Structure 1
Amino acid sequence: MSEKRITMKDIAAEAGVSTATVSYVLNYSEKERISHETRMRIFEAANKLKYVPNMTAKSLASQRSYLVGIIINLGGQDKKSKIYQYYDLAREIQRSLYPKGYDVVLISTQEMEKDFTIGQKRSLDAVFIMDMEEESMKAIASHYYVPAIFIEGYIEDPIFCKILTCYESVLIQAEEQLGSSFYVVMEDHANKNVLQTIAKKIPPENIFVNHNDASLIQFLKEHHNQKGLIIGEILGMQVENYVDNRNISVVVNSAKDIMLLPDTKTIVISNKEKAQKAVEIMDRMLRLDNPDEVERITYIRPM
């Protein structure tokens, strides 16, 4: 006797939603606004029950837009050195998406509540959101009804996927290159967990955060006899102008085409690896491919 065919009604019962809501989600309909959390609950129920759609993969895929949004949060205090890092990451995401047939809508904004509507007007399959404070991330995620993947931004909610630099590993490698005592020069991240992690190891007076009201030159003068970890290649190039480059190590986004002096020590946190991991997670979420097994937090460690 053949097994009972799993229907949308079965999934609705498992997920605690209506059959109509299941239909909207599994058919990628844009007619109704359904939260990201509800979509994920339905995807997980479909996977648990081993639901097989009564349509070909081709017809399912044809209902996608093959448009993906990349949202870059540009705070009012952000320097060009930080902006470069995130545009370089956006470029790597584009490179990973293009072979899969996706186009990208790039949204860079200083007024998130106002400008995110630009992305809403497009029929996006997924969004990647870079460096955003938790309250803004919650607001944005509640308005996007597709998988939202946060890069270098932390939200205390297990339903969302996050891709983060492992700064504990960065500090360990910095110790190997510089010794146990060094200062840190870093960007002003919206994700305050970054500063909190570094502050566990480095005294506050030895941490420089690059914002408009801070003087990098003055900080370097006060620490001219010390060694330093510089997080970001453009910041590293600036620091090279004022210190002996043999006394610093710079966190860069790629092992290739480095703009620093040849003998400057580096620690590589690959933007290419971040991008490939983000796109891999997006693929699995869109394919309903074992959503329970998709990593909710992925840490990128030094190469």
Structure 2
Amino acid sequence: MKKVTMKDIAISAGVSLATVSYVLNNNEKEKINDETKEKIFKIAKELNYVPNLNARSLVNKKSGLIGIIVVRDYKKEGPWKKNFYSSYINALERLLDREGYHLLVTNTPLDKPDLDIVLQRELEAVFVIDVDEKFFYKISNNFTVPIIILDSIIDDKLFYKILPDFNDSIKKALKDIDDDEAYLITEKFNSNKVMASISDAFNGKKENLYIMESISGMEKFLKDRKGNQGIIISEYLAILAQRYVDCKKLTVIATCGDSYLLSEDIKLLKFNILKKAERSVELMKEVLEKRYRGNKYLILRAE
């Protein structure tokens, strides 16, 4: 099968080869209207155009590669967390593709970081997901490109962070709950400060907070609180919990973009995954263009 070229796209779009090159190589020095850009991107996608990253690297001295490192605690991680970031990564990949970038995704173990794959590539920026401070500093020293941290609280003014506001979402959920014995079930995040913020926001009895460890542990926890109102962070945990609870007494803080899988009786507070991906790309472009913000935290709120 013949490889699609920029010339093929130019012919289909009715524009010059130079115009296609400017758009697909994200050349911002050339003023090209949005309608033409959209047309070129659409045709490129329809023709399954694959950019030659090596050629672009020679021209722009840029690789066009963005790395994303997902930190995994394989020793404690349950199967329910396998797809925790899938919708976000898929949305991010689509948006980066439209900007002319390719995404390189790698999972690395919490206890023994393995960064060989990403370190062998010339990346332009790196996203690091769900990381504690000690681990972050262990891996960040390997990179000389901008690093953006997601779903983690790291009080370092050098780095930008994109963080879901669990404090706000838990308080919103509690406003609609009239139960002194209300419970909270949450996923275990690698960031200790994120876990502390969740615990502080709940402000309930310690025994009514369950940090997910096992399905059998959650089953026992819920059976001991049968009839109580509750909050669950993560729709994947809520899917597992549905069989043990009255869904009308449950509020789910959806973090993964897959709340459509839940019972219609469940009250929902949803973090917008597409918006999270859009903000990620916007922030990345700002940093690459050296347009720096004063506030290093970009806070996302559930709706």
User: Superposed, which structure 2 residues align to 1:177-192 within 5 Å?
Assistant: 177-179=176-178, 181=180, 182-192=182-192
User: Structure 2 vs 1, CA of residues 215 and 157 (structure 1 numbering), >3 Å: closer, same or farther?
Assistant: same
Alignment of 1:140-289 (within 5 A): 140-179=139-178, 181=180, 182-200=182-200, 201-212=203-214, 215-253=217-255, 258-289=260-291
Q: Which has the bigger relative contact order, CA under 8 A and spacing at least 6?
A: 1
- The change in CA–CA distance for 1:242 and 1:256 in structure 2 (over 3 A counts) is closer
Aligned length: 244
Q: CA deviation at 1:60?
A: 10
Name the CA distance, whole Å, in 2 between partners of 1:109 and 1:212: 22
Aligned to 1:71: 69
Q: Deviation above 6 Å: which 4+ runs of structure 1?
A: 58-61, 254-257
What per-residue deviation string (whole Å, max 9, x for no partner) do you get for residues 149-173 of structure 1? 1101222211111111111211121
What letter matches 2:268 in structure 1? Answer: T
1:210–1:84 Cα change, 3 Å: same
Unaligned runs of 5+ in 1: 1-57
- Shift in Å, 1:301: 0.6
**What is aligned with 1:101?**
100
1:50 equivalent in structure 2 = none
Gaps spanning 5+ residues in structure 2: where? 1-55
1:87 aligns with 2:86: yes
Q: Following superposition of structure 1 onto structure 2, how do residues 283-298 of structure 1 map, counting pairs within 5 Å?
A: 283-289=285-291, 291=292, 293=293, 295-298=295-298
User: Taking structure 1 as the reference length, what is the TM-score of the superposition?
Assistant: 0.75
Partner-residue secondary structure (3-state), 1:88? helix
- How far 1:59 moved relative to its partner? 9.6
Shift of 1:190: 0.6
Map Cα deviations across residues 238-292 of structure 1 (whole Å, 9 max, x no partner): 1111110001011114777610011211110122222211111110011112x2x
1:301 equivalent to 2:298? Answer no
Q: After superposition, what is the alpha-carbon deviation per residue over 1:205-247, rounded to whole angstroms, capped at 9, x for unaligned?
A: 1111112497010000111131110111111111111110001
Q: Deviations over 1:90-115 (max 9, x none)?
A: 22211221110111111012257541
**Residues 254 and 272 in structure 1, CA contact (< 8 A), matched pair in contact too:** no
How far is 1:204 from its partner?
Answer: 1.6
8 Å Cα contact 1:74-1:83 kept in structure 2:
no
Over 3 Å counting, the alpha-carbon distance change for 1:210 and 1:94 in structure 2 is same
Conserved? CA contact 2:67–2:105, under 8 Å: yes
Cα distance, 1:236–1:213 mapped onto 2, change above 3 Å? closer
Alpha-carbon distance in 2 for matches of 1:286, 1:61 = 18
Deviations 1:5-64 (A, max 9, x none): xxxxxxxxxxxxxxxxxxxxxxxxxxxxxxxxxxxxxxxxxxxxxxxxxxxxx9998111
In structure 1, distance between residues paired with 2:258 and 2:215: 33
2:230, 2:83 → 1: CA distance? 21
The residue type paired with residue 63 of structure 2 is S
CA distance in 2, matches of 1:82, 1:259: 15
Check whether the contact 1:177–1:249 (CA below 8 A) recurs between aligned residues.
no
What is the distance in 1 between the residues matched to 2:149 and 2:228? 35
TM-score by length of 2: 0.75
Preserved contact between residue 251 and residue 268 of structure 2 (Cα < 8 Å): yes
